[in-house]
A and B are shown apart, each in its own frame.
Chain A
Amino acid sequence: MKEELFVSGRDIPNIDPYLNIWHWQIPLYLYLGGLAAGILFFAGYFTIMRKEKDMEATVKWAPFLVPFALVLGLFALFLDLKHKLYFWQLYTTVRFTSPMSWGAWTLMLITPISFIWVATYMKELFPKWDWKFEFLNKAEAYAIKNRKGIAWIMMMLAVILGVYTGILLSAFNARPLWNTSILGPLFLVSGLSTGLAASMWMSKSKYERKVLSRLDLIMIGIELFLIIHLFMGFLSASEVQIEAAALFLGGEFTVVFWVFVIILGLIFPAVLEILELRGFHIPVWIPALLILIGGLVFRFVMVEAGQITRFLY
């Protein structure tokens, strides 16, 4: 048998013996971005469909989470930067070939829009709310009048944001686990599903929950389908990608991935949602929480595992 021994005299922190330059901040950032995209997408969608009355939590209340999620996500990204004082350099240029740049600019647009969206519902949540300044009241009235327009922009940006959370990883050819274009749609759908879960959890109306859990079942179905494709793609690709897939098929990420992401994060909540739709009584927070946790674990697993995979030479 031919053996190969590979010794490198190098021992650079966070790079040798294997890369670990992105820690918890990036997966958290990707997760919160996906969650925000999911919530805003459906808030926009049901507004455009004129369903504000029936889908109150989705359109009005869940978006209140978004500004927090986005600011927290940006803060996590900021924590990840190693040259923090220079972070403003992100906003001195637009780089079309850099997903990081796309994401920074998308967030720059979608964060204020989420604030505006929430502001237009402030008075409905707190009836005594007053904007204090006349021009703010005027701005609010203007925004409320143009909600539909905002909804369209919001939906579009939400899709870009959701896809971006996957593309940030898939653009790295050097990490075979990430280097698949399925990651864009996969992270988008996963983000939409977590967004639906959050809205579902906040909803008090039976009708609304039913609509949301039906949509969520579709999302889970698509997600499982994309994950199967992900592995089919890997297993029929080059050696480095077969090895990347092996991390999940017997390798060190097998248990977390299949137990927490696939079973507890997708299949089990789907079963619960089906039972609920069939008339069994199941507290809504259980599937919602499972989906939210599953999405988070998924980001962590993908970011961690991806950094281990590399080209062999």
Chain B
Amino acid sequence: MRYAMAIDTKKCVGCGDCVVACQTENNVPHGYCRDWIVENVTGTYPNVEIELRSERCNHCDNSPCVRCCPTGASHIVEGGIVMVTPEECIGCGACIQSCPYDARYSHPEGYVDKCTFCKHRVDNGQLPACVEVCPTKCLYFGDLDDPNSDVSKALQNRKWKVLAPEAGTKPQLYFLT
């Protein structure tokens, strides 16, 4: 099993609902976020192109954050989800340094926090909160190993890219372009 997410940058309108849904669902402290929107404008006026991306932890296959954690607080669970155990985390910040996507932050309580793909919901057969609320339905989540999952189907007929593949982390967020 390999959980992954596909994000349709052509459908996303940048409303930020995914951000708010995540903050609510996961009790993210005020001023912090586990997912965020990036607005990437390229070209010269008037010929500009915009790409909207809903970003979060990439749950990398080759995750440097797990490798560099001195206590094992950062670890990988079934389906490739990268998790942090607060009671094992000493807050050394190594994993924050190691993430090419700056997907982690230091929770005001001291431990490091980040996207969990809403594991608590997924385990109950629900979708991650961000996927659930997206009004344009531009987020797809599921098991890559299952050809009938939402994410596999979304990737089938579209061009996609991953962010900073040269960082070598094998990220698992696929941006449909």
Cα–Cα, bound, A6→B41 (Å): 6
Give chain A residues whose Cβ lies under 8 Å from the Cβ of B43.
Answer: 2-3
Cα–Cα, bound, A4→B40 (Å): 7
Give chain B residues whose Cβ lies under 8 Å from the Cβ of A80.
Answer: 92-93
The answer to whether the Cβ of B78 comes within 8 Å of any Cβ in the partner chain is no
The answer to whether the Cβ of A131 comes within 8 Å of any Cβ in the partner chain is no
The answer to whether the Cβ of B155 comes within 8 Å of any Cβ in the partner chain is no
The answer to whether the Cβ of B89 comes within 8 Å of any Cβ in the partner chain is yes
Check if A12 sits within 8 Å of B32, measured CB to CB. Answer: yes
Task: Choose one: B32, B38, B86, B164; the contact of A7 (CB below 8 Å).
Answer: B38
Contact with A along B150-177 (1 / 0, CB 8 A): 0000000000000110111100000000
Check if A89 sits within 8 Å of B41, measured CB to CB. Answer: no
Check if A97 sits within 8 Å of B105, measured CB to CB. Answer: no
A254 to chain B, nearest CB (A): 23
Check if B91 sits within 8 Å of A90, measured CB to CB. Answer: no
Task: Choose one: B69, B72, B99; the contact of A174 (CB below 8 Å).
Answer: B99
Give chain B residues whose Cβ lies under 8 Å from the Cβ of A8.
Answer: 36-39
Given contacts A89-B88, A93-B71, contact A19 B97 (CB under 8 A): yes
Q: Which residue of A lies closest to B47 (CB)?
A: A2
Check if B110 sits within 8 Å of A310, measured CB to CB. Answer: no
Given contacts A15-B105, A172-B97, contact A90 B70 (CB under 8 A): yes
Q: Which residue of A lies closest to B106 (CB)?
A: A82
Cα–Cα, bound, A8→B35 (Å): 11
Q: Which residue of A lies closest to B105 (CB)?
A: A12
Check if A92 sits within 8 Å of B71, measured CB to CB. Answer: yes
A174 to chain B, nearest CB (A): 4
Check if B111 sits within 8 Å of A83, measured CB to CB. Answer: yes
A219 to chain B, nearest CB (A): 28
Check if B111 sits within 8 Å of A82, measured CB to CB. Answer: yes
Check if A15 sits within 8 Å of B93, measured CB to CB. Answer: no
Check if A310 sits within 8 Å of B102, measured CB to CB. Answer: yes
A279 to chain B, nearest CB (A): 48
Which residues of B11-70 have CB atoms within 8 Å of chain A's CB atoms? 16, 19, 31-33, 36-44, 64, 67-70
The answer to whether the Cβ of A171 comes within 8 Å of any Cβ in the partner chain is yes
User: Total interface residues on B, using CB and 8 Å?
Assistant: 49
Cα–Cα, bound, A67→B66 (Å): 32
Cα–Cα, bound, A16→B105 (Å): 10
Cα–Cα, bound, A311→B73 (Å): 25
Give chain B residues whose Cβ lies under 8 Å from the Cβ of A6.
Answer: 38-41
Task: Choose one: A5, A174, A238; the contact of B41 (CB below 8 Å).
Answer: A5
Check if B71 sits within 8 Å of A84, measured CB to CB. Answer: no
The answer to whether the Cβ of A280 comes within 8 Å of any Cβ in the partner chain is no
Q: Which residue of B lies closest to A5 (CB)?
A: B41
Contact with B along A251-268 (1 / 0, CB 8 A): 000000000000000000
Check if A7 sits within 8 Å of B39, measured CB to CB. Answer: yes
Task: Choose one: B32, B44, B91; the contact of A82 (CB below 8 Å).
Answer: B91
Give chain B residues whose Cβ lies under 8 Å from the Cβ of A5.
Answer: 39-42
A42 to chain B, nearest CB (A): 29
Q: Which residue of B lies closest to A105 (CB)?
A: B70
Give chain B residues whose Cβ lies under 8 Å from the Cβ of A100.
Answer: 68-70, 92, 94
The answer to whether the Cβ of B129 comes within 8 Å of any Cβ in the partner chain is no
Cα–Cα, bound, A22→B38 (Å): 25
A17 to chain B, nearest CB (A): 10
Task: Choose one: B32, B70, B166; the contact of A311 (CB below 8 Å).
Answer: B166
Give chain A residues whose Cβ lies under 8 Å from the Cβ of B42.
Answer: 2-5
Contact with A along B104-126 (1 / 0, CB 8 A): 01100111100000000000000
Task: Choose one: A3, A13, A99; the contact of B68 (CB below 8 Å).
Answer: A99
The answer to whether the Cβ of A228 comes within 8 Å of any Cβ in the partner chain is no
Give chain A residues whose Cβ lies under 8 Å from the Cβ of B110.
Answer: 81-86
Seen from chain A, the residues whose Cβ lies within 8 Å of a Cβ on chain B are 1-16, 19, 21-22, 80-87, 89-90, 92-93, 95, 97-101, 104, 171-175, 238, 307, 310-313
A-B contact pairs, 11 of them (CB 8 A): A1-B44, A7-B39, A8-B39, A81-B90, A82-B93, A83-B90, A89-B71, A95-B72, A172-B98, A173-B168, A312-B164
Minimum-distance CB pairs A-B, first 6: A82-B91, A83-B110, A83-B91, A100-B70, A101-B70, A174-B100
- Contacts A2-B42, A311-B164 aside, 4 further interface pairs with beta carbons under 8 A come to A5-B41, A9-B37, A95-B69, A172-B68
